[in-house]
Chain A
Amino acid sequence: MSERTPFRWHIAVFLAPAVVIYTLVMIIPLFATLDLSLYSATETGTKFVGLENFRTLFGDAHWAEQFWNAFWNNVWFFLINMAVQNPVGIALAALLSLPRLRFAALYRSAIFVPTILSFVIVGFVWKLILSPIWGIAPSMLAAIGLRHLFEPWLGQETTALTTVALISVWQFIGIPMMLIYAALLSIPEEVIEAAEVDGITGMAQFWKIKLPLILPSIGIISILTFVGNFNAFDLIYVAQGALAGPDFSTDILGTFMYRTFFGFQLQLGDPNMGATIASVMFFIILIGVCLYLFGIQRRLRRYQF
């Protein structure tokens, strides 16, 4: 090549459509939302108020109460998902990856079905099944002699949030199952054989050999669950409505932001406070992702082959 390489236009052409749409519709609005949280609406228009909205959200008794209610509900929602969805998903994956298991493909496809259904379907299906009017849940409990255990779980303040979280577990269990299944399949056969030569089989093999090797994948499903849960909205909206009843007991950050942004019943919508809540959610997710990337993932690396 005698001359210097000219500007390679084709690189720009290949990148341009994706970068333009992504920047315009995703990145700019994300930062514009952070920016909106610094303004407040007045009769004459909007004015810059700095961190005043955040002070209202955390300082004003009325706002703070709603925020912390939604926040702790969200934490509980996440904990239930972590504590039930991921262990059960891992257990199912471990069973499915057993050598020479018959019908494995059939089980795998069937267990993944709830994950492809929309929230509208999932929310209403469970609402109907748990409904005290229809009586599928009570009559099934009656069949095994436990009729007295039935309660309108979605309608009681004490049980509604946990019930919704378990419905979410039911819906998304396919994701940890699949990712862990893939990780288990990728463990080299020699490692397993070496373990067997040493007499490590069955459950001990799972705990001592396979589990440490799939820890990176468990890290990934944990962070996926975290981001998904702190951004959740649809299931609660469908099953419990925008008011996240009964008496806000199922209110999480997503529904709280929706109500604040759009208003409900007597309260008017407030885009700036909505943006403030979205910003808080942004920072919560950012902190979680950073903790994972810099704290957990680095430490897990050394287990990979």
Chain B
Amino acid sequence: MSISARTSMPRTVAVHTALILYTLIALFPVFVILINSMKSRKAIFREPLALPGPDTFDLVGFQTVLTQGNFPLYFGNSMIVTVVSLALVLVFGAMAAFALSEYRFRGNFLMGLYLAIGIMIPIRLGTVAILKLMAAAHLTNTLTSLILVYTAQGLPLAIFILSEFMRTVSDDLKNAGRIDGLSEYWIFFTLVLPLVRPAMATVAVFTMIPIWNDLWFPLILAPSESTKTVTLGAQTFIGQYVTNWNAVLASLSLAILPVLVLYMIFSRQLIRGITSGAVK
């Protein structure tokens, strides 16, 4: 029986109607914010669902945000924290995953189990003690404290996914390297790492989103003006300008756009990562 025989016209229409309806629900709020951030105050209230036209187009909200808020600074902080944590999670995670998947040693299984605890138990529950630790190390209100926390938070899942992938790297290749006299470090960095690049990209996307979006740790560990991340900065800015609708909508748009652009670049990678079985 051919596949086309299974699909009837009315059924196809029903399926698409359901999916389009849910797509609208998913995208509508984002759309409303983006269009209204570019309208004048009157237009925002009079016709919230209309696109900005020649007489309603107004960027006053963005002007307020860019002159009153420290968004370039917040953005820089978020970039530093996300990129550095991500790099540490990928390098340290891949190293540990390699040790667990490549060598047989006593305690290998227990070490794997120990490192997997963090997948299920959220790091947030240790906040009280983390704050004490950071205060004792004079790291409160530094980006370093956030980087350390996010690295610890990202490692368990990264190690879990990467070690699954590293088991699939051919032994012949590594053994050929060993016969040629390459050190274990050289084998890892030049032979194995390039081969697990697709898995690294998947881990990168999974690690990046929660770090960029986190509100809890910036609020607790680094709330000072000079160390605010975009998420916390937008939160406090909106709190102060809550009645200035143009500014609120503009700051929301500014917070949405970078993530949306990143998502468009990485979405194929993300979806391929999830469907390739890394998380099953």
Contacts and interface: CB of A to CB of B under 8 A. Distances in A.
Interface stretch (A51-59, A74-82, A177-185): A177-185
Contacts of B148: 21, 24-25
A292 B248 CA distance: 42
Interface in B174-203: 183-185, 188
Interface in A221-246: 223, 227, 231, 233-234, 237-238
By size class, the interface of chain B is 35 or more
Contacts of A237: 215
A227 B124 CA distance: 12
Interface in A282-302: 282, 285-286, 289
Main secondary structure on A side of the interface with B: helix
Nearest to B100: A15
By size class, the interface of chain A is 35 or more
Contact of A119 (B48, B123, B130, B213): B213
A99 B6 contact: yes
Q: Which 4 A-B pairs have the closest CB atoms?
A: A29-B126, A32-B129, A118-B213, A14-B99
A129 to B, nearest CB: 6
A192 B206 CA distance: 32
B30 A113 contact: yes
Contacts of B88: 17, 21
A1 B189 CA distance: 27
B115 A22 contact: yes
A117 B275 contact: no
B231 A181 contact: no
A170 B26 contact: yes
A114 to B, nearest CB: 6
A26 B123 contact: yes
Contacts, number: 256
Interface stretch (B53-61, B63-71, B149-157): B149-157
Interface of B: 1, 3-4, 6-7, 15-16, 18-20, 22-23, 25-27, 29-30, 32-33, 44-45, 48-49, 88, 91-93, 95-96, 98-100, 103, 105, 111, 114-115, 117-118, 120-130, 132-133, 148-149, 151-153, 155-156, 159, 183-185, 188, 209, 212-216, 220, 231, 234-235, 238, 245, 248-249, 252, 255-256, 259-260, 263, 267, 270-271, 274-275, 277, 279-280
Contacts of B231: 118-120
A49 interface: no
Given A18-B92, A33-B129, A128-B248, A107 B23 contact: yes
Nearest to B184: A10
A282 B27 CA distance: 35
